[in-house]
Structure 1
Amino acid sequence: MDRRRSVSQLRTVVDPKVLSAMRTVLSQDLAPGRSLGTATLVRVHVSAAEPHAAEIFASYQRGTQTFAVAGRIERARDSWRLVAVRLG
């Protein structure tokens, strides 16, 4: 979401609907706190939700403010795939 890498690089690990939403956030410059600078990951938690799914929670900082991101990953064949994400 910092545009340090192309969203297209996520194609193999992100659900197409989530990827489309990420592109919209970037094209409309809607990433929370983007004007505060580069995001720095602070903490990540993963919690098993089902045998082939997990909920992820993370916090990140931009400047002096702390933000959150949450999502769901699911096992698909031989890899994990991000199927939902929420920035806040």
Structure 2
Amino acid sequence: MTASRIHPSAPPAETPALVAPVVDFEPPPVGVAACPPPRSAALRRRSPTAGRGPRQEHLRRAAAPEPAARAATVFADAALRRVLEVIDRRRPTAQLRPLLTPALIETVLALTRFPQSSAATLRRIRVRMVDDDGDFTRAAEVFGTYSRGPRVRAVAARVAFDGQRWRIVALQIG
């Protein structure tokens, strides 16, 4: 049963309409002449990389990650496993101090107050290196999944290298 939004003392003649028309905010359609279809010569154009397509270049770069990306991946894997173990109360919270900023430690401590039905298991993570405001600080965005019982959930974080060590500076646990 749904709750009524109409005050019980309001007379029936003054009840507001529950359905209102939606205003169309789409831009007007653009004619076909605005973007002509590509010519067949443009579709068969050779790439400027001397016989190597852009797909092969992408695969070669992905096959050999830079050392900072490898270090960020190793750190993110270990740190997220520890965070999940602290939430499950399988590890003491003192072990999070070198890994997280103080504000995030308080957030994780808040999550430990609720008992969990089963242990969390980190399933997969992906790391994407990003620039941090143009300075020389290295940062990476981490996203992945973990399972708790039969359910699969999401986790996301941002890790940054402060010159001495990696730390998690943002954390979102689903």
User: How does the TM-score come out when normalised to structure 1?
Assistant: 0.86
**1:1-88 correspondence to structure 2 within 5 Å:** 1-27=87-113, 29=114, 34-35=116-117, 37-50=118-131, 52-88=138-174
Distance in 2 (CA, whole Å) between partners of 1:61 and 1:54 is 23
Query: Structure 2: how far apart are the matches of 1:65 and 1:42?
Result: 12
Bigger radius of gyration among the two: 2
Structure holding more helix per residue = 2
**CA distance, structure 1, for counterparts of residue 90 and residue 112 of structure 2:** 12
Structure 2 gap ranges (5+): 1-86, 132-136
TM-score (norm 2): 0.45
Deviations 1:22-57 (A, max 9, x none): 111112x17xxx32x111111010011215110111
Equivalent residue number for residue 36 of structure 2:
none
Residue 152 of structure 2 aligns to a residue whose secondary structure is: strand
* Residue deviations 1:44-83 (CA, integer Å, cap 9, x gap): 1001121511011110111111011101001012110001
Distance (whole Å) between structure 1 residues aligned to residue 128 and residue 93 of structure 2: 25
**RMSD (Å) for aligned C-alpha atoms:** 1.4
Amino acid across the alignment from 2:101: D
Structure 1 vs Structure 2: percent identity of aligned residues? 36
Q: Structure 1: where are the runs of 5+ without partners?
A: none
Matched positions, count: 83
Moved over 4 A (4+): none
Q: Which has the higher strand share?
A: 1
